[in-house]
Each structure stands twice: as structure tokens, then as C-alpha cells.
Amino acid sequence: MKLSSLISEDCSKAAVLFNSKKRILEFISELAHEKLPHLHQQDILSALLNREKLSSTGIGRGIAIPHGRMNNVEEPLAVVLVSKTPINFDAIDNRPVDIFLALIVPDGDNQQHLKTLATIADKLNNKEFCKQLRSAKSDEELYQVIVSQS
């Protein structure tokens, strides 16, 4: 699975500026709602927040993979944000997070969900890829990094 098959340019945002975990998740849910208008934005946010209650999706090294399962979603949708300044996200290494690759996935399709998470985690394990994400100056440049690396 290619990362570019999950992410569109309008769901790639560089140099965003938020100061809290809740606000970044709200923004992710706003972007996801634009791509999935049949879902309520508040329901998307609730799915993301409910997953965070289980344990933080901050995987360390300044990276988080917030995700939520939802009914009425047929294909996974990803949103990538790079924050201008890292924010506290309760990551496992206690470091602030500046790369957010969020997923909204179909409820019940565990195999696809795990495969998608594994693809994303593998990509984000590449230090050069993360460096390029962090250095993107515009949404378009960020999207081009994703397309060229997947």
C-alpha cells in the first residue's frame, strides 16, 4: 500500500500552528469531515479522542499516528500535518510531537487497519523521510514529499 493512495493534497498541511492535543485533533476532524461529508465532524473527533483515551498515539521521535474507526467509512483516509512548533501529545518518549499522520478507518476491518498502520509506521521510521516532511514549507511541498516517497 502506498501512502499517496491514502492522502490527498488537501489533507496535507505544512507549518500548522496549534498549541494543544485537543485542538490538533479538532483540526484533523475538520479536514476529514471535508473529505467524508456524510460523517459528522464531532463523531470523527470523538473517534479520535476515544482512541487517545486508551493510550497515546504519540509513537515517539516527534511523531503521532492518531486514528479512529468509524462506521460508514469504506476506505481509509489519512491526514498529515506538520506543526510549526511541536506540541505536548503524551507521546511514549515524553517528547513533543510535530508530525501527525492521522487515520480514519472502516470499523470492523482489522486486517486492513493493521496493514495501514504498519505501512505508515514503516514510512515514519525513515529518518530522512521525516526530515523532508519537517522541512516542507507549503502544503503542496509536503504533499510532493509524500508522493515522491511512496
In which residue are the cell numbers 516527534 written? 62
Q: pLDDT tens digit string along 88-115?
A: 999 999 999 999 999 999 888 677 778 8
Residue of 33, 38, 40, 67 marked catalytic: 67
Known active-site residue 67:
yes
Return the C-alpha torsion angle 100, 104, 110, 114, nearest 10: -20
DSSP assignment letter at 88: -
Q: pLDDT tens digit string along 30-73?
A: 999 999 999 999 999 999 999 999 999 999 999 999 999 999 99
Instruction: With H, G, I as helix, E, B as strand and everything else as coil, classify residue 148.
Output: helix
What residues have CB less than 8 Å from 63, skipping those under 6 apart? Answer: 91, 97, 99, 100, 101, 124, 130
> Global pTM?
0.93
pLDDT band at 150 (very low <50, low <70, confident <90, very high): low
